[in-house]
């Protein structure tokens, strides 16, 4: 059995997108398949798999599996690519519509411009209480500009939830950070019971921030949509930047606006890389009705 897919990316944050709108998906061990197909150089290579499915609450639903097979709560770049996928294939006749995620319904807006697609998303609002992130400590208190113990030293961090947990650390030079070592150390820190995404950020000006990302379940990625939002919101709360900022990541630029309350916007370009198919061997197929993904 062959499985068709589309490879897409937003600012280098790439996923394997599988269409569950036009065709019923087979019963697949999606976590295991995500691990196999996400391997760089040995397979398709991606930050994970995203299933695009019907929804009873919105126009579409996305179901995300990270590169390690874990289920993702939300992906800002992923939901924007889902919007572009649906719009490109004529699944929707308007340029503004809703996508259901595990964190709620996100409204996306597609705008063609000079041969490219710009897709914006009204993101789920940021949450700051430790109980909402989640993070250990007093559940009724915030975790902005606090200190986290790492081995023999403590570092200032800002933790918040933007669709999923984030730990933002402001530094003078993001290029000097050993992300391979610090990323997994912080992701799996005991302070974060559900693990966390990690962003190191360098404020270049009130309108521009550079950032590098270690994503929970995927490792180093070229960008992260919710991560860009977390970086921007943390910087805004600390008075480090304006309410509208360009977040520069290794894979490209993302625009973030936050009104200080519930209104959080993420925007940027979206690209379809190619379409293909893979042969699903028996080890990835499940008997009818036994899929554990919730995505079939």
Q: Are strands 13-19 and 48-53 parallel, antiparallel or unpaired?
A: parallel
Distance, in Å, from the CA atom of 63 to the CA atom of 122, rounded to the nearest integer, reads: 18
Which residue in the list 75, 81, 167, 241 is annotated as catalytic? 75
Tell whether omega for the bond before 63 is within 30 degrees of 0, i.e. cis. Answer: no
Distance, in Å, from the CA atom of 195 to the CA atom of 73, rounded to the nearest integer, reads: 12
167 in active site: no
Assess whether 190 and 84 both reside in one domain.
no
Assess whether 40 and 114 both reside in one domain.
yes
Would residue 163 count as lying in a domain? yes
Assess whether 25 and 72 both reside in one domain.
yes
Total count of domains within the chain: 2
Q: Give the CATH number of the domain where residue 32 resides.
A: 3.10.310.10
Which residue in the list 167, 224, 229, 241 is annotated as catalytic? 224
Would you say 25 and 33 are in contact if contact means Cβ atoms under 8 Å apart? Answer: no
Give whole-number Cα distances, 197 to 75, 121, 214, 215, in Å.
11, 20, 6, 5
Assess whether 280 and 215 both reside in one domain.
no
Tokens of 292: 């554990």
Give whole-number Cα distances, 163 to 39, 73, 79, 251, 275, in Å.
25, 7, 11, 21, 28
Would residue 223 count as lying in a domain? yes
Tokens of 89: 């294939």
Would residue 160 count as lying in a domain? yes
Assess whether 158 and 88 both reside in one domain.
no
Would residue 221 count as lying in a domain? yes
Would residue 130 count as lying in a domain? no
Write down the pLDDT at residue 265.
Answer: 98
Assess whether 238 and 276 both reside in one domain.
no
Assess whether 117 and 153 both reside in one domain.
no
Residue 112's domain spans which residues? 2-122+272-284
Write down the pLDDT at residue 279.
Answer: 95
Assess whether 257 and 278 both reside in one domain.
no
pTM surpassing 0.85?
A: yes
Q: For the chain, first and last CA: distance in Å?
A: 16
Would residue 129 count as lying in a domain? no
Assess whether 70 and 94 both reside in one domain.
yes
Assess whether 115 and 32 both reside in one domain.
yes
In tens digits, what is the pLDDT along the chain, a chain of 296 residues? 899 999 999 999 999 999 999 999 999 999 999 999 999 999 999 999 999 999 999 999 999 999 999 999 999 999 999 999 999 999 999 999 999 999 999 999 999 988 899 999 999 999 999 999 999 999 999 999 999 999 889 999 999 999 999 999 999 999 999 999 999 999 999 999 999 999 999 999 999 999 999 999 999 999 999 999 999 999 999 999 999 999 999 999 999 999 999 999 999 999 999 999 999 999 999 976 555 444 44
Assess whether 147 and 250 both reside in one domain.
yes
Would residue 291 count as lying in a domain? no
Would residue 9 count as lying in a domain? yes
Assess whether 148 and 231 both reside in one domain.
yes
Write down the pLDDT at residue 195.
Answer: 98
Write down the pLDDT at residue 296.
Answer: 43
Write down the pLDDT at residue 291.
Answer: 52
């Amino acid at each position: 059995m062959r499985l068709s897919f589309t490879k897409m990316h937003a600012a280098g944050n790439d996923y394997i997108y599988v269409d569950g709108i036009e065709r019923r998906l087979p019963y697949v061990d999606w976590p295991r398949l995500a691990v196999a197909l996400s391997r760089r150089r040995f397979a398709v290579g991606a930050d994970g798999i995203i299933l695009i499915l019907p929804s009873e609450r919105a126009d579409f639903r996305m179901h995300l599996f990270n590169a390690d097979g874990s289920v993702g709560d939300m992906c800002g770049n992923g939901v924007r690519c889902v919007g572009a996928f649906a719009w490109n294939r004529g699944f929707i006749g308007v340029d503004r519509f809703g996508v259901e995620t595990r964190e709620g319904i996100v409204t996306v807006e597609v705008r063609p411009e000079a041969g490219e697609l710009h897709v914006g998303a009204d993101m789920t609002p940021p949450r700051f209480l430790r109980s909402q992130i989640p993070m250990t400590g007093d559940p009724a208190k915030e975790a902005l500009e606090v200190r986290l113990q790492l081995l023999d030293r403590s570092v200032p961090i800002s933790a918040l939830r933007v669709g999923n947990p984030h730990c933002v650390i402001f530094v003078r030079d993001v290029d000097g950070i050993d992300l391979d070592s610090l990323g997994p150390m912080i992701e799996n820190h005991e302070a974060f019971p559900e693990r966390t995404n990690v962003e190191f950020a360098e404020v270049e000006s009130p309108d521009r921030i550079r950032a590098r990302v270690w994503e929970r379940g995927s490792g180093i990625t070229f960008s992260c949509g919710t991560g860009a939002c977390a970086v921007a919101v943390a910087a805004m709360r600390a008075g480090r930047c304006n309410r509208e900022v360009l977040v520069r990541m290794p894979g490209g630029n993302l625009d973030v606006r936050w009104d200080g309350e519930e209104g959080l916007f993420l925007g940027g370009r979206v690209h379809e890389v190619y379409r293909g198919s893979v042969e699903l061997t028996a080890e990835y197929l499940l008997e009818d009705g036994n899929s554990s993904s919730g995505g079939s």
